[in-house]
Structure 1
């Protein structure tokens, strides 16, 4: 069943819209650990994230940086390890919100929803990693909470997956499928250009 996302028809968010926020998910040094994750798609993600941040910092300034502190012993996202640090391209500035999560959804065990409601945010522009995991889970959760969501496809990335039958799914295929599953049902899919051209 194809549900409508939010109360009104989606449109690309405007960085000057006080009711919109940019949310960047899990862009930490851990994603560069290729021995742990394997193949990643979209090598241009970091550049597109920098474009989005520049736009939002010149707009309403509603920026949420989500970081993951894993409880899995060998994860490069473990707190206290270099992998838990933000990548330089998305380093938070003073006044920008930082949310720390321990599971895939940024809404579980955090005050994210409270903060968004308090600041009058009804629309989210989401980017980051991994499209198939924390991005997808957070977007679905946000839609169920009745936020309108745009996912910036060229500012997201994901990793190759091997299923239980031993079939390997390349990262780009995983990316396309997960965006297709979100599109229209939980979010609209946009490009960085479509977002920043409104500013």
Structure 2
């Protein structure tokens, strides 16, 4: 079975902690670069996904400098470059599912930002579409969240708690296998 590495939303805007809040996993970028180097040296396809927000005030809007990919990801020569404005990479341009199907790619390895948002949504959708999915948890990161949720009041979760919950939901729910960068690279 042919596999592809899907690198999701590794954009400069996510380095703005004043905007996003506290984060976890400072090794994310280095781990993504390590995965990309492993895929490139094996001649396996890499798909780079970028979030192009439709909100002009978002740091991820195409007119803002935060929309740019971080340097290690910008240096990748991807087999496919997808832009999207929603959580799932399967709702982007060009059509990721069609591209994967045309190439008989059945195994996806996902990494990027945010663990519990675009990475998780893409993993769930990939699982539902029948792909064999691996999420490389230490090659993802996210941010603390807080919201006033009806019936629950103020709910707060740290980035580390959100990463653990995402890993649990994806693996126990049968959407994806959770792995580490070291398991998939020569590192």
SS of the residue aligned with 2:178?
strand
Quick one: which of 143, 149, 152 aligns to 1:159? 143
Against the structure 1 CA distance between its residues 95 and 22, is the aligned structure 2 distance closer, same or farther, given a 3 Å change threshold? closer
Give distance in 1, aligned partners of 2:116 and 2:83. Answer: 19
- CA offsets, 1:93-152, max 9 Å, x none? 345311000100111143101111111210000000101100010100111110110000
Aligned to 1:181: 169
Q: Across the two proteins, how many residue pairs are aligned to each other?
A: 181
Mapping 1:93-104, distance limit 5 Å? 93-94=76-77, 96-104=79-87
Give distance in 2, aligned partners of 1:92 and 1:100. Answer: 17
Which stretches of structure 1, 4 residues or longer, exceed 2 Å deviation after superposition?
92-96, 165-168
Structure with more contact order per residue of length (Cα contacts < 8 Å, sep ≥ 6): 1
Give distance in 2, aligned partners of 1:28 and 1:79. Answer: 11
Higher share in strand: 2
TM-score, length of structure 2 as denominator length: 0.92
Give distance in 1, aligned partners of 2:128 and 2:81. Answer: 22
Against the structure 1 CA distance between its residues 163 and 95, is the aligned structure 2 distance closer, same or farther, given a 3 Å change threshold? closer
**RMSD in angstroms over aligned alpha carbons?**
1.5
Against the structure 1 CA distance between its residues 127 and 95, is the aligned structure 2 distance closer, same or farther, given a 3 Å change threshold? closer
2:154 counterpart of 1:171:
no
2:42 counterpart of 1:59:
yes
TM-score, length of structure 1 as denominator length: 0.86
Q: How many angstroms does 1:49 deviate by?
A: 0.8
Higher share in helix: 2
**Larger deviation, residues 91-100 vs 129-138:** 91-100
Q: List alignment gaps of at least 5 residues for structure 2.
A: none
Against the structure 1 CA distance between its residues 95 and 44, is the aligned structure 2 distance closer, same or farther, given a 3 Å change threshold? closer
SS of the residue aligned with 2:105?
coil
Give distance in 1, aligned partners of 2:101 and 2:156. Answer: 41
